[in-house]
Amino acid sequence: MRLEAISQPSVSRRIFPPMLAIVASFVIAALLAQIAGGNPFAVFGLIFKGALGSQFALLETLNRATPLIFTGLAVAVAFRAKLWNIGAEAQLYAGAVITVVLGTGALAWPAPVLLPTLAIGAALAGAIVLLIPAMLKTRFGVDEVVTTLLFNFIFLLFVSYLLEGPLKDPMGMGWPKSARLIPEARLPRIVEGLRLHWGFALALICAVAIWVIDRKTTLGFEMRAVGQNPEAARFAGIPVTKVILKTALLSGGLAALGGFSEVAGLKGSLTLDLSPGFGYTGIVVAMLALLNPLGVVAAALFVAIIFVGADSMSRAIGVPTYLADIMLASALLLMVLAILFTKFRVRRD
Partner 1 sequence: MTALRMGAERGDPVLRMQGITKRFGSVTANEDISFSLHKGEVIALLGENGAGKTTLMNILFGQYLADEGMVEAFGKPLPAGAPRAALDAGVGMVHQHFTLADNLTVWENIALGTQGLGAFSLRPARVKDKIRDLSARFHLSVDPDARVGALTVGERQRVEILKALYREAKVLILDEPTAVLTPQETDALFATLREAISMGLSIVFISHKLHEVMAIAHRVLVLRHGRLVAERGIGDTSAEELASIMVGGEVRAPDVPAMPAGPALLTLSKASAGVLQDVNLSLNAGQITGIAGVSGNGQGALSDLISGVLSLQSGEMQIAGQTPAQWDARTAIAHGVGRIPEDRHKTGTIADFDLTENAILETYQTDFARAGWMDWTKARRHTEHLIQTYDVRCPGPDTRIRLLSGGNMQKLILGRVLEENPQIIVANQPVRGLDIGAVNYVHARLAAARESGSAILLISEDLDEIMKLSDKIHVISEGRLSPAFQRGALTVAELGKWMAGQGFAHAS
Chain residues that interact with partner 1, rule: CB under 8 A = 7-8, 215-221, 224-225, 228-229, 231-239, 349
Pairing of strands 2-5, 344-347: antiparallel
CB of 344 to partner 1, least distance (A): 15
Count CB neighbours of 239 within 10 A: 13
Q: Whose Cβ is closer to partner 1: residue 132's or residue 238's?
A: 238
Q: C-beta of 249: minimal distance to partner 1 in Å? A: 15
Identify which of residues 55 and 218 has a Cβ nearer to partner 1 in the complex. Answer: 218
Least distance to partner 1, CB of residue 215, Å: 8
Rounded-to-integer distance, Cα 1 and Cα 20, Å: 22
Query: Of 48 and 221, which CB lies nearer to partner 1 in the complex structure?
Result: 221
Q: How far is the CB of 235 from partner 1 (least distance, A)?
A: 5
Neighbouring C-alpha atoms within 13 Å toward the C-beta of 94: 30
Least distance from C-beta 124 to partner 1, angstroms? Answer: 20
Among residues 2 and 139, whose Cβ is nearest to partner 1? Answer: 2
Select 143 or 164, whichever has its Cβ closest to partner 1: 143
Long-range contacts of 3-6 (CB under 8 A, 24+ apart): 3/340, 3/344, 3/345, 3/346, 3/347, 4/344, 4/345, 4/346, 4/347, 5/343, 5/344, 6/342, 6/343, 6/344, 6/345
Q: Which helix (H) or strand (E) holds 74?
A: helix 55-80
Contact present, 267 and 104 (Cβ < 8 Å): no
